[in-house]
Structure 1
Amino acid sequence: MIANDPLYHPYPAYRPPVYAGRGMVATSQPLAAQAGLDMLKRGGNAVDAAIAAAAALTVVEPCSNGIGGDAFAIIWHGGQLHGLNSSGPAPAAISIGALCEAGYTVMPQYGPIPVTVPGIPAAWAELSEKFGKLSLEETLEPAIQYAEYGYPVSPVTAHHWNKAFHVYKQELRNPYFSHWFDTFAPAGRAPQAGELWRSPDHALTLRSIGNSGARDFYEGELAKRISRFVGDAGGYLTEDDLRRYKPEWVQPISTAYRDYEVWELPPNGQGLVALIALSILDGYERHAAGDVETYHRQIEAIKLAFADGYRYISDASRLTATPADLLDPAYAAVRRKLIGNQALQPAPGDPRSGGTVYLAAADGEGNMVSFIQSNYMQFGSGMVVPGTGIALQNRGKDFSLDETHPNALEPGKKTYHTIIPGFLTKGGQPVGPFGVMGGVMQPQGHVQTLMNAIDFGFHPQAALDAPRWQWTGGKTVLVEPQFPAACAQALSRRGHDIRIALESGSFGRGQIIWRDNGSGVLLGGTDSRADGSLAVW
């Protein structure tokens, strides 16, 4: 278990970590964490707890995820890691040519065009069938209760919900967007913190998913309603696209960092970016906390990793460089040599020449789950299927309409995907799940949080609470308000364009659960940037 003095916390939020013996669920919302814990106490395992928490999050934090989004998971079960990619592809009928003829030069952010096949319901069903001990109906029941009878909205959720409402009020003009406002702003505004909110349509949809093992969503009445709504609005998603969809079981990929193995899922997810950066940073001596040299090397490694990620990551069937190529130690050494004392302008190398929720769950049997799901960009496309509560994602926004681009739009292709679950092992034994949500902040958050834990010996709560930076492109680096001023000034002198953020909303929100493989004791932390909670047993 990674942790030094559990009462030592180098940063202003002096929350200690949390211990448990029989189970732990870490989420960005207390009601969702409690839903997961309820499953453990009913005799379920960590997978059941993760499904219950994930379903609850679609209700109690709808500004970050929903039934119409995608999901990924890494599961430790039966003494090994399993990976699930439940991201959906572009519709079979869409194409660059069709969009260009319609007058598009880039993929739109809102509306029916960027809607891809949702993977979340299929992920719940697949995980439940393969590893769960309880029925899918039972694991979805807490979420159904929250949706049907209502719950008081939590403060951070209310803040982001309100921000999204004001954006959507300006951007969503077409009549088909009215269902979003009917569902998520029925009083003509976003709900306030502490205000009760309910969504009976959402409850009915969840019950249908539970009763049918998600089949109704992909080949039943729900599928008909989804495809009809998208088609009538001018989109491309059809019943055939939904019926053909299946999640993919994949082998997680890893890189060594110090004495540990860091695991992510392979492309189309961007977890490879975090692994590339860590493989570069592993070549340095152990770093020091709060040191300008540490921050500088982290930023430069992330820039190089993203340059390669944006060049090579796409649908797994269309890769021009494999994860093995990009994680080769010799290639990492070549990239490391590019890092000097001054900020660089990142460019991809050639290895061949040489709006999201994250949760973690663990049980007393040794099972552990790293799970993430998202609609993307807060509520997604702004398209809510009438009478269902289903907010459809806009993952297609990340496709390029340039046919020569690695992530060019193609029928049935999966796009570069931002959401990534992480997992840590040591000597082949599980240490535990970790993750930081938030678009391109995610691999940056993975690198910073893991280094806080491994290099600096921070316990999970301290590792999450430490001030963060975020590379946003070129030489620009955004830092949190509480980021050390002296380090910010020193980084500026090294050529970084340092910008101080006014709030911490864009720096991700994470969860960590570590297990002591000797005693089985669980140690967890939840991000202070969210309404986060650890439910323990």
Structure 2
Amino acid sequence: MNFDSLYYPYPSQRVAVYAQNGMVATSQHLAAQGGLDILKKGGNAIDAAIATAACLTVLEPTSNGIGSDAFALVWTNGELYGLNASGPSPQTLSLETVLKMGYKQMPKYGWIPVTVPGAPAGWAALSSRFGKIPFADCLKPAIEYAEKGYPLSPVLAKYWATSFATYSEALRGPEFANWFATFAPKGRAPVAGEIWNSPDHAQSLQLIAETKAEALYRGELAEKIDQFSRQFGGYLSKQDLENFSPQWVKPIKVRYRGYDVWEIPPNGQGLVTLLALNILDRFEFAERDTTETFHTQIEALKLAFADGKRYITDPEKMSVKIEDLLSKAYAEERSQLIKETASFPEAGKPTGSGTVYLAAADDSGNMVSYIQSNYMGFGSGLVVPGTGISLQNRGNNFSLDPAAANRLEPGKRTYHTIIPGFLTKDHGPIGSFGVMGGFMQPQGHLQVIMNTVDFHLNPQAAIDAPRWRWIGDRSIELEHSFPPHLAEALARRGHNVNMVLDPYGFGRGQIIWKDQKTGVLTGGTDSRTDGMVACW
């Protein structure tokens, strides 16, 4: 891939990184180095991704943990594979149960939004199918960091302090005591440069390593989760854990400007990115920084989100076919709805039936796009005593509207925000990309792909470019470095524009591209976070 620009013409803290033997990019520098160490010890990109993911549960607990869900796209042996390691709701939790409690929408904290954690089973599945070295070896770096501790990096400390303030206000009751004991042992959030460790977390990772994750689903850790749940009237049980297994899925794609853009199929929201790109493929964009470009991007994304919010849920419960949503005819129909001024988005009717991201690549042609998350920072606020495991709150995305496609049902997987992305051309890999940040993720994917394909920015420049974010109706937020004259022009088009000083709400991404001729790897990691590209 040719890059017309080495830099984006706005302030950046980083430049693109080049290497040929191996590369790991993620939002925490020690985690990236942990993955690189596995590569240097003979592991492949899949092993490195597992090691990095396990490290991130320790090194960035503000975004993910052992109690997370995960998704992965893996390029190996000339094919792209998808893994859905997201867990379902408990079998004993129903819509009627929650409505009878008086809730109008799913709560954020406590036992009601807790779903089965899928990430550790995902690690084991990746290792079993594609790994090169023993699974237990992949978890050694994470175990060491959990046991011995590490100093907090600046952005991590910021998120930790924010979560501590939020949880101090929101978490009431003895079931939350262990969250504070684990993540605020001094009665406050640790600060940048301060060392934090979690021996319980280390022991849990050790059990997962020794049993290939069986301890979490059918062993000692499952028993502790079940006991904790029963003690406080929770719904997650050892039967829910026993019945879970991750699923290998067929990735979905659209053709955009001669490239194939790949995402995980629902219940992930990667479909939203593909819907928007399918619409945008019907337009021509001569330049990135024009009112017409940004307006058209935003309007296409709004239409895609409207469809996503109406239709995406557990794939076994979807009322429309993905191929109908991604048809060229439907994209053409939707593209006609984009006018000169901002619109209120509505879903169409096709005919026919808190997060961490990492990218890894090795010198054998393997590439991994991987993402895992607890949701809303630390998740539910529940930490299983004696384990260091913070349980996710993914169930918060369920609807309590009985008519909604994504309504709460027992044993159902919810609409999921976390999505890994992958790019290919002419049946060969270009590489892995991802942007973290809740419902910002498909918006970040769209902007990164267009920065790369339409505007020929290298990975670091594509990530660093100022971003926009649609937040609902005609309202958008623009990053502080967004050109003011374009912000004013968008306002004249009918967009409700808000300039935001804090860059962290606009997602945090990583990219690794591979030159199909030379095999040289090019990596970028977001200046909005602490991460790095580790390579050799």
TM-score range, shorter chain: over 0.9
Q: CA deviation at 1:100?
A: 2.0
Give 1:102 deviation, angstroms: 2.7
Q: Say yes or no: does 1:103 pair with 2:102.
A: yes
Structure 1 residues 2 and 351: alpha-carbon distance in aligned structure 2, compared to 1, 3 A threshold: farther
**Contact 1:24–1:363, Cα closer than 8 Å, also in 2:** yes
* Cα deviation digits, residues 241-292 of structure 1 (max 9, x gap): 0001000000000001101000001000000000000000010113411111
Contact 2:422–2:432 (CA<8 Å) still a contact in 1?
Answer: yes
Match in the other structure for 2:38: 39
Quote the Cα distance in structure 2 between the aligned partners of 1:96 and 1:274.
29
Partner residue, 2:345:
346
What are the ranges of 5 or more consecutive residues in structure 2 without an aligned counterpart? none
Q: Paired residue for 2:279?
A: 280
- Name the SS of the counterpart of 2:477 in structure 1: strand
Partner of 2:4 in structure 1? 4
> Which residue identity lines up with residue 398 of structure 1 in the other structure?
N
CA contact (8 A) 1:25 1:49 kept: yes
CA distance in 1, matches of 2:74, 2:256: 20
- Alpha-carbon deviation of 1:105? 2.6
Equivalent residues in 2 for 1:346-425, closer than 5 Å: 346-352=345-351, 355-425=354-424
Q: How does 1:268-307 map to 2 (within 5 A)?
A: 268-307=267-306
Q: What amino acid is the match of 2:290? A: D
CA–CA distance in structure 1, aligned partners of residues 135 and 529 of structure 2: 28
Paired position in structure 2 for 1:74: 73
Following the alignment from structure 1 to structure 2, what is the Cα–Cα distance between the partners of residues 427 and 286? 23
Q: In the TM superposition, what is the alpha-carbon distance from 1:16 to its structure 2 partner? A: 2.0
- Asked if the contact 2:49–2:360 (Cα under 8 Å) also holds between the matched residues in 1, the reply is yes
- Output one character per residue of 1:315-373: Cα deviation in whole Å (capped at 9) or x when no partner: 00011112111111111011101001100000000012691000000000000000000
SS in 2 for 1:84: strand
**Mapped partners of 1:100, 1:345: distance in 2:** 30
1:88 and 2:87 correspond: yes
When the two chains are superposed, the root-mean-square deviation of aligned CA atoms in Å is 1.0
The correspondence of residues 13-24 of structure 1 with structure 2, limited to 5 A, is 13=12, 15-24=14-23
Contact 1:270 1:416 in 2 (8 A): yes
- 2:479 is aligned to 480
Which one-letter code corresponds to 1:169 in the other structure? Answer: S
Partner residue in 2 for 1:193: 192
1:331–1:354 Cα contact (<8 Å) kept = no
- Matching of residue 52 in structure 1 with residue 54 in structure 2: no
Moved more, 59-68 or 99-108: 99-108
CA deviations 1:121-163 (Å, max 9, x no partner) are 1001000111001111100000011110010100000001100
Which amino acid counterpart does residue 252 of structure 1 have in structure 2? Answer: P
Q: How far 1:456 moved relative to its partner?
A: 0.7
Q: Distance in 2 between matches of 1:353 and 1:41?
A: 50
Q: Distance in 1 between matches of 2:264 and 2:113?
A: 24
CA–CA separation in structure 2 for the residues paired with 1:374 and 1:320: 27
Counterparts of residues 498-537 of structure 1 (less than 5 Å): 498-537=497-536
TM-aligned CA deviation for residue 425 of structure 1: 0.2
Give yes or no for the alignment of 1:459 onto 2:458: yes
Contact kept, 8 Å, 1:202 with 1:390, in 2: the verdict is yes
Query: What residue is the counterpart of 2:248 in the other structure?
Result: 249
Instruction: Classify the secondary structure of the residue corresponding to 1:13.
Output: coil
| AA in 1 matched with 2:463 | L
Describe the SS at the equivalent of 1:108: coil
- Structure 2 equivalent of residue 258 of structure 1: 257
State the SS of the aligned residue for 1:517.
Answer: coil
Q: In 1, Cα distance between the equivalents of 2:23 and 2:352?
A: 46
Partner of 2:316: 317
What is the distance in 1 between the residues matched to 2:176 and 2:520?
A: 48
Q: Among all aligned residue pairs of Structure 1 and Structure 2, give the percentage whose two residues are the same amino acid.
A: 59
Counterpart CA distance in 1 for 2:386 and 2:353 is: 55
**Residue type of the alignment partner of 2:447:** Q
Runs of 4+ in 1 over 6 A off after TM superposition: none
Aligned-pair CA distance for 1:422: 0.1
Kindly indicate whether the alpha-carbon contact (under 8 Å) linking 2:324 and 2:352 is maintained by their aligned counterparts in 1.
no
Query: For residues 139 and 274 of structure 1, what CA distance do their matches in structure 2 show?
Result: 32
Contact 1:113–1:234 (8 Å) recurs in 2: no
Structure 1 unaligned blocks of 5 or more: none
What secondary structure is seen at the aligned counterpart in 2 of 1:188?
A: coil
The residue type paired with residue 284 of structure 1 is F
2:306 and 2:5 map into 1 onto residues whose CA distance is 38
Q: CA deviation at 1:4?
A: 2.6
- Matching of residues 201-212 of structure 1 within 5 Å: 201-212=200-211
Structure 2: how far apart are the matches of 1:401 and 1:16? 46
